[in-house]
Structure 1
Amino acid sequence: MGEVFAGRYELADPIGRGGVGAVWRAWDHRRRRYVAAKVLQQSDAHSLLRFVREQALRIDHPHVLAPASWAADDDKVLFTMDLVAGGSLVHLVGDYGPLPPRFVCVLLDQLLAGLAAVHSEGVVHRDIKPANILLEATGTARPRLRLSDFGVAMRLGEPRLTETDLVVGTPGYLAPEQMMGADPDFPADLFATGLVALYLLQGARPDARALVEHFAEHGTPGAPQGVPAPLWQVVAGLLEPDPRARFRTATGARKALASALELLPPPGPDDEPIEIFDQLGPLPPDFGPAGPPPRGPGAPGTLPDAAG
């Protein structure tokens, strides 16, 4: 039996860790299904404010994994999201290495679609990286990607929670203007998206600094080995160091990607199918597909004290 929050969410097992909280697989006694629950670990005011900002996001899109509900008990607080079982892009590249260009196009299109929805709400993600991009466990069927972890996201014009000269994000996936302390804006997310695309195509983290230096000294680099030129033109357009030369919107990048896809060679008969496995593992003892066993009279799942 796990700890129950607000009479509704029963924690089963830890499945990950975010910036300010651990992520658990939890049973929702009201909706009778498993969800992912991020539980705040720190109680200082700064962490709580960032946590509140994240749980307040409500972006309904098939390629975005945003908070769906929240609950509080005593000095602890959590919010819940859909449970996504296929691991992150890090797991996928760890299993297969460089991915086929057409497969990357599918993932990149879904990421840009989710990002367009986020940006349409005036939100800058600020931490796009492979570990924050999750996959449904679809087997060998068409992949389904979900952009997650809005812990450092902010709306345009919203006051920062950090000093203005403190860089927020993950080293190696920061746009040049982020490194210079510029105000958060959508093109920085697109630069990181280009680095994610290159990571998928090459099977290793790109050297962002070397790319930026090459652009500055020699112009657009040639297509890396194994990357078709039409696809590279789109990725390079995302990686322009000058945000004014970069794609300005995720929708614009998607349109360019769709045109590039038409120019790619068809998949070969010997191409290895990409399978996205369930990465969560078995449920812990006392938890089954239909949840934990009933607790008897007064069991959780009626009316939560402070849940949304």
Structure 2
Amino acid sequence: MAGRYRLRSKLGGGGMGAVWLAHDTLLDREVAIKQVTFPADLTPEVARETRARAMREGRLAARLTHPHAIAMYDFTLEREDPWLVMEYMPSRSLAQALNVTETLPPTQVAQIGAQVADALTEAHAAGIVHRDVKPGNILIADRGLAAGTVKISDFGIARAKGDAQPGQNSVITGTPAYFAPEVARGGDPTEASDVFSLGATLYTATEGQPPFGIDEDTIALLHRVAKAQIMRPARSGEITDALLHMLEPDPARRPTMAQARDLLARSAVGADGNIAYVLDAPLRDSDGAVPFWARRGATGGPSRPARRLPTSTASGLPAVDQSEPLQSVHRPSPRTPRPPAFEPKNSGPGLPVPLIVALAVVSVLIVVLIVAIVV
């Protein structure tokens, strides 16, 4: 392809094309190449403009260089389709990790979010809106010296700020489960919608499902997103306030990406911790090892539900009627009991009640056995 890239194997695919592992014969290195596809029913004029815009956006994204963003090396047209040539990092996505373990510890999620937010802060400063932040586009290196390194990928549908195509606001592109409400309602994606999508992604990592649930009916899901009513997270611990701030229905009330980065980093290290370490260091467990879910070949246990999170990017989705009113994030009153599955463990002094009961039963059985032997 393009006279220098030899395709080796298919790494994956989705609604916006396929990703290939390839070898750059000129620089003798492995690269990842994404073929960006568009709906087949586009008129020739619209198709030409779409490809030209994709070329402009690809060149813009290639200017972004950040340690937590997959670098874009080249952009070319081949067989009339845009092809993005990107850095190849042997890794698993956050979506794949969540198929190994249903949820991640809040401190690790905070570090992942802070590093991705740091990269997106630089992208926003360069005028680039990602538009498809989701678990499938967050990669964690799973081998070698880079193991545990976090990077945001796939700027393939990224858009330069203000580069909206007239007449196209009735259809939307992205992954509905992680849409911001204003995007589901047909609004143009902005930096604020990237903040919401990152918040929805991190919510999924701690709660085990997106803030609006899982639904194979895309249109029904879009209507729930447009109403902006989510349940308060129950497993997010110290990052709960940061997530709720990022998931504000009103874009004007959300933090900027830089503010979200600082909120998440501070949640991970506490009041006296070193934020720089959170932003720079690879993911590690408390014992200094790479988390098991981020290691190559890690698989889920038998108790892991046979469920897959929504990951596919879709194009040409109809926007929801803007006459539907927005609703606020649902915050239960302090007196509302938390579901039993989310009850915190007993951390006070003494033994937990179930263990005391078990010991009492065993003691009674021992006494009965001794009496029987004596008799």
Q: TM-score range by the shorter chain?
A: 0.7 to 0.9
Is 1:212 matched with 2:208?
A: no
The normalised TM-score by structure 1 is 0.75
Aligned to 1:6: 2
For the residues of structure 1 that align with 2:78 and 2:173, how far apart are their CA atoms? 30
Is 114-123 or 177-186 further displaced after alignment? 177-186
Task: Say whether the 8 Å CA contact 1:98–1:203 is kept in structure 2.
Answer: yes
Task: Say whether the 8 Å CA contact 1:68–1:81 is kept in structure 2.
Answer: yes
How much has 1:22 moved relative to structure 2? 1.9
How much has 1:222 moved relative to structure 2? 4.8
CA deviations over 1:88-140 (Å, ceiling 9, x no partner): 11111101110111111111111111111111111111111111222222479
Aligned to 1:30: 26
CA RMSD of aligned residues (A): 3.0
How much has 1:182 moved relative to structure 2? 2.2
Equivalent residue of 2:170, what SS? Answer: coil
Is 249-258 or 230-239 further displaced after alignment? 249-258
Partner AA of 2:169 in structure 1: T
CA deviations over 1:258-301 (Å, ceiling 9, x no partner): 3222349xx778x994342347xxxxxxxxxxxxxxxxxxxxxx
How do 1:183-202 and structure 2 match up within 5 A?
Answer: 183-202=188-207
More helix by share: 2
Task: Say whether the 8 Å CA contact 1:99–1:201 is kept in structure 2.
Answer: yes
Is 152-161 or 238-247 further displaced after alignment? 152-161
Report which of the two structures shows the higher radius of gyration computed on alpha carbons.
2
Equivalent residue of 2:229, what SS? Answer: helix
Aligned to 1:293: none
Q: Say if 1:135 and 1:50 are closer, same or farther in 2 by CA, change over 3 A.
A: farther
For the residues of structure 2 that align with 1:140 and 1:41, how far apart are their CA atoms? 34
Aligned to 1:87: 92
Q: Say if 1:233 and 1:78 are closer, same or farther in 2 by CA, change over 3 A.
A: same
Higher relative contact order (CA 8 A, sep 6+): 1
Aligned to 1:254: 261
For the residues of structure 2 that align with 1:84 and 1:96, how far apart are their CA atoms? 22
Aligned to 2:236: 227
How much has 1:75 moved relative to structure 2? 5.0
How much has 1:200 moved relative to structure 2? 0.5
* Alignment coverage as a number of residue pairs: 264
Task: Say whether the 8 Å CA contact 2:203–2:236 is kept in structure 1.
Answer: no
Task: Say whether the 8 Å CA contact 1:237–1:246 is kept in structure 2.
Answer: yes
Task: Say whether the 8 Å CA contact 2:128–2:159 is kept in structure 1.
Answer: yes
Q: Say if 1:80 and 1:141 are closer, same or farther in 2 by CA, change over 3 A.
A: closer
Task: Say whether the 8 Å CA contact 1:128–1:193 is kept in structure 2.
Answer: yes
Task: Say whether the 8 Å CA contact 2:55–2:75 is kept in structure 1.
Answer: no
How do 1:110-129 and structure 2 match up within 5 A?
Answer: 110-129=115-134
Task: Say whether the 8 Å CA contact 2:90–2:143 is kept in structure 1.
Answer: no
Partner AA of 1:207 in structure 2: F
Partner AA of 2:228 in structure 1: V
Is 44-53 or 112-121 further displaced after alignment? 44-53
Q: Say if 1:10 and 1:121 are closer, same or farther in 2 by CA, change over 3 A.
A: same
Structure 1, unmatched stretches of 5+, are: 215-220, 280-308
How do 1:1-308 and structure 2 match up within 5 A?
Answer: 5-17=1-13, 19-40=15-36, 44-45=47-48, 48-56=51-59, 57-58=61-62, 59-71=64-76, 75=80, 78-138=83-143, 143-160=148-165, 163-207=168-212, 209=224, 212-213=228-229, 222-224=232-234, 226-228=235-237, 230-247=238-255, 249-263=256-270, 273-278=291-296
The normalised TM-score by structure 2 is 0.62
For the residues of structure 2 that align with 1:273 and 1:116, how far apart are their CA atoms? 26
Structure 2, unmatched stretches of 5+, are: 41-46, 214-223, 272-284, 298-375
For the residues of structure 1 that align with 2:145 and 2:166, how far apart are their CA atoms? 42
